[in-house]
Amino acid sequence: MIEILYLSKMKCFGYRSWSVCLFVGLIFGLLGCQSGGQQAVFSKDWDEIVKSDTLFVLMENSASTFYNYQGVSQGFDYELMQTFCATNHLHLKVVVMDNVDSMFQLLNRGVADVIASNITETPLRDSLYLFSTPLYTTRQVLVQRWADDDLVHTYPVIKDTTQLDSLSISVHRYSSFYERLKQLEKNAGKPFDILEAPGKYSADDLIRLVSEGKIEATVTDASLAGILVEDYPNVQFELPITVPEPIGWVMRKNAVLLKEKMDEWLSKERVQILIKQLRKKYFKANTTHVALFHADVIMPKIKGNQISPYDSLFKKEAKEIGWDWRMLAALCYQESNFDPGVISSHGAFGLMQLMPETAMKYGCDSTDMVAGNVHAAAQLLKEVDRAFRKRIKNPEERMKFVLASYNAGLGHVFDAMVIAKHLNQPDSIWFGQVENALLMKSQREYYSLPGVKSGYCRCQETYHFVDRVLSFYEHFKKKVK
């Protein structure tokens, strides 16, 4: 069993039981006691964890650690920790936090047993906590914007760490990036302009602010840079400021047996193979995906009155859910280009690119790439449409929300509607309104708003997805009756 607790707000909403609300209250009660002086480190080790059948793990909402995609939990640390718990017959409870410094405090107070959140092992942290065997190593890299003629303020682009004093560099106070910059400042014997970034900004947010020219520079891990590099073509991630450093899971100093158990598991050959697979899945830029949404739209060639070899399937399933079959065909073309053998980096499969969990819900297994896949997709679309009927009366407008939900998941689209309301914008109009609010879900200040329940999302794909599907649909309507 896996349970996800979002604790980005000091209030309890959307949780399934009063016991979880009590857990939330306990966490923030403990946080509220911080000013009372140094607290003793909580003691709990492997034997007690096994006895309770549950491992509590702190994670950050981010592109590399944990996020929700099409209603399915994803992320490098999440998938790896999920496998560790399954191997050891433990229930996994993920506590999703926004502030890394708070994670260390909560760990010492016993709210969780492990931090699994892309944490760099530094000498200072190593003196205070136990780190697992490194999951991988990564460098810290400087994030700076390429000179741009349309910018009012053009910042210098430096090529050497000896020039770091020429930039204002924004990082979080308790991050390993701040620690490294202070060490470089000391070694250089001259002051650096190191700015403390507000807590409302995540590491992803700071990179976005560099891209927008709102801050001069920041520092990030090369692993995160590999994920975001294609999203920000005007940003340079090429200057390393450290040698490769270990990334590991963090435990309290007194959790010696837990560390031994994790290290033993992480050392196994099959686990090392899994780590390599997950790194490829999450940390390598998906250039195919990027090309898909940045290239010109290529309309499919249509022979006679046939769109694809699967038109009869689209007609049958569309009739059952009250859709125009050409819209179902347009969705399929966008998802798989009518190739049932496609498998996405997230694991989506078949003509309609369903996630395995979603397909199973509608009676489709991973071996059914065609008929069962289209049927399951149609049933999903029918259910999502029903979820929007009371809130969006216009069928054509509602269709856009259904398509967006098919791509990003219903929870993220509902969240975007909540964000639109917070911004005093219409929450039932897609283009120019809710689609823009959805883009804000990669920013901590927006995915942490009251009523936003599904957390972080890089939704640039969905922003383009709806427009693409509708373009294909209009093309099909003109060509095929």
The domain spans of the chain are: 2-135+249-284, 140-242, 296-479
Instruction: Give me 364's structure tokens.
Output: 């489709």
- The CA distance from 349 to 340, in Å, is 7
pLDDT in tens, 152-191: 455 668 888 999 999 999 999 888 999 999 999 999 999 9
H or E, element range at 219:
strand 217-221
Within this chain, domains 2-135+249-284 and 296-479 share the same CATH topology: no
Q: Which of 406, 453, 457, 400 is nearest to 426 (CA)?
A: 400
pTM value is 0.73
Query: What pLDDT score does 36 carry?
Result: 41
Q: What are phi and psi of 409, to 5 degrees?
A: 105, 145
CATH of domain 2-135+249-284: 3.40.190.10
Q: What is the percentage of the chain residues whose pLDDT exceeds 90?
A: 64
- The CATH class, in words, for 140-242 is alpha beta
CATH classification of 296-479 is 3.40.470.10, yes or no?
no
**Mean pLDDT to the nearest integer, 43-59:** 96
- The CA distance from 426 to 414, in Å, is 13
pLDDT in tens, 247-261: 999 999 999 999 999
pLDDT in tens, 77-112: 999 999 999 999 999 999 988 767 688 989 999 999
- On the question of pLDDT at 444 being above 50, the answer is yes
Query: What pLDDT score does 5 carry?
Result: 75
- On the question of pLDDT at 22 being above 90, the answer is no
Q: How many CB atoms lie within 10 A of CB 268?
A: 11
- The CA distance from 419 to 426, in Å, is 10
Task: Give how far Cα 244 sits from Cα of 4, 137, 167, 226, Å.
Answer: 32, 5, 23, 15
- On the question of pLDDT at 369 being above 70, the answer is yes
